[in-house]
Structure 1
Amino acid sequence: MDEQVLRSLIKWPNVPDCFGWLALDRRGQWRMVDEFAQQNKLPGQVIQHIALNEFITRNYASDQLGRFFFQNGPQRVFISLAATPWIVRIIPSEQGQQLMTQCQTQMKPSAALSDENGSIYILGSIKQAIYQDLKTQQFEVEEHDSIGLLHDHDLDQFSELAQLREEACSFGGSWNWHGEQLPLDPIHSEELAKRFGFVKQPKP
């Protein structure tokens, strides 16, 4: 969280929250959802401005209710999630492959899930900012178990790591990550938000 953002919260603690104007799509892109897009249920325009994208990712956080938001100075801009709070990529590094989110933070995986559409979700721990205290405007950065949708460009790469078995509506099995076999289990996409404690469409 930027220091200037934290200072603005102390100076202007009661700025109204904003809902419906910012979204995270399935490819990890931030989208601006204007009134026309909201009224017509459109995904909104991808934000191309590099500095704004970086500002959003540095100030991305969640509250105790599982709602994710962008702290824009003193204003909290709640984010509509197309899938999950994190979109994960498999990235090569000097230490081997890593899982990185849209915020360029590393996820340490513990398992994966597959849904009825063939999407893969990674479960694991990630450092994230969590809003703790309404009175003191306090954020805590801590390791937190969460879930991220694997970017569709990386599905083929994931399949090379997986050993699969057929399930009723999806598939399960295991996958190899740095020499360790991790579980891969089926899930229905509608179960994700409730099971993992996040809100896809925050409301006032």
Structure 2
Amino acid sequence: MDEIVKAAMLKWPAVPDCYGWLTLDARGQWHMRDEACQRANSAGDIIRNPALQAFIGRNYQADANGNWYFQNGPQRVFVDLEVCPWVCKLTPEAIYLHTGVTLGSVTAVLIDELQQFYLTGDNKLCLLDDRDIEILINCIVAATPEEAIRTMETWLENPADHALYLRLPGQKSPLPLQQTTISALKEQFPFNRKPAPR
């Protein structure tokens, strides 16, 4: 958390919390939702300013009840989550969280009933940005990209038949792709997608 934020919290300790104004989408983009967007139930405007994105990322955390928020000076701005609290991106060299920080050691690669991919590590559940699925498929332990695609298709049709392993960027050992469900993920990594005042 930024020192300026900590100082503001001490100076103004009783600022009311804010709900419904900030959203994290499935591609790791922050959206600002004014009152009109909230009334229309629309996604709102993507925050494109790099300095503001970085500020939100540095001051993004959760409370004890699984509500994620951005500590904006003395005010908690609670975040509506399209899917889960973290989104990750793959590059050939590393895995990055939507906040720009690298994801350290990956402990599992998962796919849910909607065929959304997740990585877990550093005690985080991270949805894979859907634009990086091709990179993920190229991480399948196989001889060629064409074989990797066929291996993924075969595994999706019948995952019980054989294991499918992926060697992810920056990771020492391949990991098996495992099936899961959204409800199982929420049990293991509790969070609230739409925080509300108590």
TM-score, L = length of structure 2:
0.83
Q: Which residue of 1 aligns with 2:128?
A: 150
Q: Which residue of 2 aligns with 1:105?
A: 101
State the Cα distance separating 1:190 from its structure 2 match: 4.1
Distance 1:190 1:173 in 2: 23
User: How many residues align structurally?
Assistant: 181
Residue pair 1:22, 1:32 contacting (<8 A) in 2 also: yes
State the Cα distance separating 1:110 from its structure 2 match: 0.8
Of 168, 186, 197, the residue aligned with 2:179 is 186
Residue pair 1:88, 1:149 contacting (<8 A) in 2 also: yes
State the Cα distance separating 1:72 from its structure 2 match: 0.4
Distance 2:167 2:51 in 1: 36
Distance 2:195 2:187 in 1: 13
Specify whether residues 100 and 45 from structure 1 end up closer, same or farther in structure 2 by C-alpha distance, changes over 3 A only.
same
State the Cα distance separating 1:174 from its structure 2 match: 2.7
Distance 1:65 1:88 in 2: 23
Q: Alpha carbon RMSD of aligned pairs, Å?
A: 2.2
Distance 2:71 2:163 in 1: 38
Gaps of 5+ in 2: 142-151
Residue pair 1:193, 1:200 contacting (<8 A) in 2 also: no
Q: Which residue of 2 aligns with 1:90?
A: 90
Deviation per CA, 1:28-49, whole angstroms, max 9, x where unpaired? Answer: 1100112222222211111122
Distance 2:164 2:176 in 1: 6
Q: Which residue of 1 aligns with 2:68?
A: 68
Alignment of 1:23-34 (within 5 A): 23-34=23-34
Specify whether residues 167 and 14 from structure 1 end up closer, same or farther in structure 2 by C-alpha distance, changes over 3 A only.
farther
Runs of 4+ deviating beyond 6 Å = 167-172
Distance 2:60 2:52 in 1: 12
Once structures 1 and 2 are overlaid, which stretch shifts more, 38-47 or 71-80?
38-47
Over the matched positions of the two proteins, sequence identity in percent amounts to 37
Specify whether residues 14 and 166 from structure 1 end up closer, same or farther in structure 2 by C-alpha distance, changes over 3 A only.
same
Deviation per CA, 1:99-153, whole angstroms, max 9, x where unpaired? Answer: 111111111211111122221100111xxxxxxxxxxxxxxxxxxx011111111
Letter in 1 for 2:56: I
1:116 counterpart SS class: coil
Gaps of 5+ in 1: 126-144
Letter in 2 for 1:110: T
